Amino acid sequence: MNKRFTMLFTVAAVAVMGATLFGSTYTQTQISGQSLDMSSMDMDMMDKIRNMGGLQLVMPQAFAETDCGVLADSGRNVVEFNLTGESVSLPIMGGESYNAMTFNGQVPGPTLRVTQGDVVQMTLSIPDGEVTGHGNDMHASQISALAFDSVNPGESTQFCYIAESAGVFKYHCSGVHLAGMDAHVLSGMYGIAIVDPANGYKKLMVEKTSGSGELDRVFYDADALEFTLQFNQLYLTDGNYDMSKMMAHQNTATVINGMQFGYTPNIAHNLLVKGDVDTNFFLVQPWKGLEHKQYQSQLLYVENDQHVRLFIENQGNEPVFFHIVGEILDKVTQGNRVQSAATETWLLGGSQNMIVDLVFDEPGVYALVNHDYAAIYSGGLGLFVAGDPFNLNPTLVEKGIIPEPVASYAYVLGNPSDAVPPMGLNSIAHPAVNIHGLYTDEVASEMQENGFIPLWEVIPVVAEILTAES
Ligand SMILES: [Cu+2]
């Protein structure tokens, strides 16, 4: 077998977070106050208040302990989260590029995954020469907003917090002393923290009627194949963020994990399904060519009858009506509480999240969308492929690409790295992970060195095998 091709059978190195649970309880030691001096305000009302004895506002500065030294000695598991704020140019659909702002040269920023009760030690560094300062507001923390103040180029800052609540939480740049926050976030400075429940996830129950029409309940183990989907918009004029378009809610693109239509077919799918790399098998395939490298579109592969868990965040400025065409969302969880079961669509406002658990019963292609037509047409659509809907197993086996039939195409092509979160308490490992995402070339080549599959190198090998005369 071709050497490069054997890479397909290596399970990608996905970092496994230690599941060390905490042993001690935290103490609330940092309640202090801030007084507001109103004596200098020259207003009649202020005079009256002063004559009454004055007015003092007391604002708690912190809900919980935030001192990294104290938390490091607390006996809890400490997870480091290192971010670098950097402005880079990244591609958009149509061969153009835009002036992006990123955490670590990628959009979205890296996904943090911890267990409820862990201590997060966040360090934000801004390189010398970066055009602007940046901050980081982590919604998983419950600390004073003062901690999120911006960091100047050439400097770094650190804060620590206990991830007390389970769920999905946005993090985002807080601008320069809060100014320009919209520009920084909507240019790419966002990501998520997944906080797994201390006792893990629960089983999934799916109600079905059996062949006789009787109601029965199918239970799936808590372990699931997991994906992250982050929705956002771009508001661009000549490749730059345009605040006036944001104020008018006139976005120029809808993105999922940073890209428009990033999870649509590429030329390998055209070849496998249509027998021809140039014959598209889906309506939109804007990133299908090998020259797109890490930006080449990739599909999301799942098995049938497999528990799938989606971590979804609305990072943007418009509502997300999350829907999967041809599927029902078997369970919707927010903040570790079940919100709905067997629902068709679930609404996420800005900066809101959910966990969707579901099972794809039948082989097929299923479109995930923001069920707002403007969002769909501007890029808010991707495809799940469940099982072997194109009956490719016989061909793949016959050509020697796989030794035996597989339950999903992930065993052959892998799943896109930007949709695969780090492993958590109840994660099923993806069979393979390929390099896909709004990454700089530096990030992509670092991933390649770490064993992720460069699909743009593998596809020609697959194509050669498939098209060779037998
Ligand atoms: Cu920023």
Which three-class secondary structure string do you get for the chain? CCCHHHHHHCCCCCCECCCCCCCCCCCCCCCCCCCCCCCCCCCHHHHHHHHCCCCCCCCCCECCCCCHHHHHCCCCCEEEEEEEEEEEEEEECCCEEEEEEEECCEECCCCEEEECCCEEEEEEECCCCCCCCECCEECCCCECHHHHCCECCCCEEEEEEECCCCEEEEEECCCECCECHHHHHHCCCEEEEEEECCCCCCCEEEEEECCCCCEEEEEECCCEEEEEEEEEEECEECCEECHHHHHCCCCCEEEECCECCCCCCCHHHHHHHHCCCCCCCCCCCCCCCHHHHHHCCCCEEECCCCEEEEEEEECCCCCEEEEECCCCEEEEEECCEEEEEEECEEEECCCEEEEEEEECCCCEEEEEEECCHHHHHCCCEEEEEECCCCCCHHHHHHCCCCCCCCCCCHHHHCEEHHHCCCECCCEECCCCEECCCEECHHHHHHHHHCCCECHHHHHHHHHHHHHCCC
455-467 vs 267-274: helix axis angle to the nearest 10?
Answer: 20
Map tokens 């989606």 to a residue. 310
CA of 94 to the centre of ligand 1 (A): 26
Q: Percentage of the chain with pLDDT > 90? A: 77
The predicted structure's pLDDT at residue 470: 58
Q: End-to-end alpha-carbon separation of the chain, Å?
A: 15
**165, 173 Cβ separation under 8 angstroms:** no
The predicted structure's pLDDT at residue 55: 45
The predicted structure's pLDDT at residue 396: 93
**450, 13 Cβ separation under 8 angstroms:** yes
CA of 195 to the centre of ligand 1 (A): 24
CA of 22 to the centre of ligand 1 (A): 33
The pTM score is 0.86
CA of 183 to the centre of ligand 1 (A): 8
CA of 317 to the centre of ligand 1 (A): 17
Q: How far apart are CA 126 and CA 135, in angstroms?
A: 9
Q: Show pLDDT as tens, one digit a residue, over the chain (470 residues).
A: 333 333 333 222 222 222 222 222 222 233 333 333 434 444 565 566 556 554 444 444 445 677 898 898 889 999 999 999 999 999 999 999 999 999 999 999 999 999 999 999 999 999 999 999 999 999 999 888 888 889 999 999 999 999 999 999 999 999 998 889 999 999 999 999 999 999 999 999 999 887 788 888 999 999 999 999 999 999 999 999 999 999 999 999 999 999 999 999 999 999 999 999 999 989 999 999 999 999 999 999 999 999 999 999 999 999 999 999 999 999 999 999 999 999 999 999 999 999 999 999 999 999 999 999 999 999 999 999 999 999 999 999 999 999 999 999 999 999 999 999 999 999 999 999 999 999 999 999 999 999 999 999 998 988 898 888 75
The predicted structure's pLDDT at residue 199: 96
CA of 105 to the centre of ligand 1 (A): 12
The predicted structure's pLDDT at residue 32: 35
The predicted structure's pLDDT at residue 20: 21
CA of 452 to the centre of ligand 1 (A): 28
CA of 32 to the centre of ligand 1 (A): 29
